[in-house]
Amino acid sequence: MLSYRHAFHAGNHADMLKHFILYLVLDYFNQKDKPYWYIDTHSGAGVYDLRDDAAQKIGEYADGIARFQAAPVLPKLVADFVAHVAASLPETHLYCGSPWLAQSLLRDADKMRLFELHPTDFRLLLDNMRAANLGRRCIVKQENGFAGLIALLPPATRRAVVLIDPPYEQKQDYASVVQTLKDALKRFEQGCYLLWYPCLSREESRTLPEKLVKLMPTNYLHAQLHVHTPRADGFGMHGSGMFVLNPPYLLAKQLQETLPEITRVLAQNDGAKFVLDYQIK
C-alpha cells in the first residue's frame, strides 16, 4: 500500500517534535570534526509547498510551524530551530521534510542516503535534492527503507544518524520498526537511531515504547508531545513520539528546558502534555 503522502501533514505538530529533535541531534554531531552519514528510511518529498491543495486540504501546518512562527517568545533553542528552517528554504511558503532539514545541517564531508518508495514523492525527492547541489554525497533510492538501511550498515565513517519514520498505515509497520532496529543494532550498535511514531488509541501505538526500551534499556530517550485529549471515539492522532537510541548526552537537558513551552504553544486543548523518559550512559 502506497497511499500515504506527507504533503497533507507537512509542518504539523508531529513535524515540530520530530524536526526539532533531529535538529538538536545533527547539531550535536556537527560538534565533532569526524564525518558521519545521515540515513532516512522514509524520506517523503523533501520539501512541501504549504499553498498547494494537499497542505490546504487539512491545514495541519496552522497548528504546527505557523504557531511557532507566530509565537512572540520561544525558548532560544526553539527560536534557533525556527530561524534555521526559514533560512534553509528558498521561499516563505515552503516547509522542509527531514531530508531537506538534514542537508542544511550536513557539512562537506558528511553523506546522505535517502529512501522513498512512493513513485510521486520519489520523483519530487530527486528533484528537490538535486536543487540542494550535494552531488555524490547524496544518494536517493526508490527502495524499501527498512531493508535499505540494513544493507548500509555499518557505514565506513562508523558515525551515523538514522531517522526511521514510516507512515504506520499498516499494523505490521509497528513490528517492522522494532525488528529493523534489532537488526540494525546487531550490525552497528553505536549508531544514533531516531524513530518517530504516532500517538493513537490503538494498542500497537500504545505498546510500542515498551518494546523499544527493551532494545537498549540503558541508553535511550523517549519524548512524547500530546496536543489534545484523545478523542472519545478513539480515532485520530492526538500526539506523537520520538524514541532515540544512543542519544546525545545533552538531549535530555535540552528537551527538559524546551518541551514545557513547546507544549504550551502547540496545545489544542487542556489535555495537552508532554512525556520525557530517558536513561543515558
DSSP string of 87-117, one letter each residue = HHSSSTTEEE-HHHHHHHH--TT-EEEEE--
Query: Residue 3: its pLDDT value, please?
Result: 55
DSSP character for 8?
G
Give the number of other Cβ atoms within 10 Å of residue 214's Cβ.
11
Q: Which residues contact 35 (CB under 8 A, 6 or more apart)?
A: 107, 109, 110, 111, 157, 159
Q: What's the whole-model pTM score? A: 0.96
Q: How far is CA 93 from the centre of its chain?
A: 20
CB 234 within 8 A of CB 201: yes
- Which residues make beta-bridge pairs with 114? 40, 140
Whole-number Cα distances in Å, 258 to 74, 98, 123, 141, 272: 9, 20, 36, 35, 15
* Ranges under pLDDT 50 in the chain: 1
Decide if domain 6-279 falls under CATH 3.40.50.150: yes
| Domain range list for the chain | 6-279
Query: Residue 204: its pLDDT value, please?
Result: 93
Query: Residue 169: its pLDDT value, please?
Result: 85
Half-sphere exposure of 174 (CA within 13 A, CB side): 16
Grid cell locating 34? 569526524
Active-site positions?
Answer: 165
Query: Residue 245: its pLDDT value, please?
Result: 98
- Could you tell me if residue 168 is left (phi over 0), alpha (psi between -120 and 50 degrees) or otherwise beta? left
Strand locations in the chain, DSSP E? 37-40, 47-49, 94-96, 111-115, 138-141, 160-164, 192-199, 220-226, 239-245, 273-279
Contacts of residues 215-219 at CB distance under 8 Å and 24 or more positions apart, as own/partner, are 215/178, 215/181, 215/182, 215/185, 215/245, 216/185, 216/245, 216/246, 217/279, 218/279, 218/281, 219/245, 219/246, 219/247, 219/279, 219/280, 219/281
Query: Residue 68: its pLDDT value, please?
Result: 98
Cα radius of gyration (the chain)? 17
* Calpha distance 69→66 (Å, rounded): 5
Query: Residue 52: its pLDDT value, please?
Result: 86
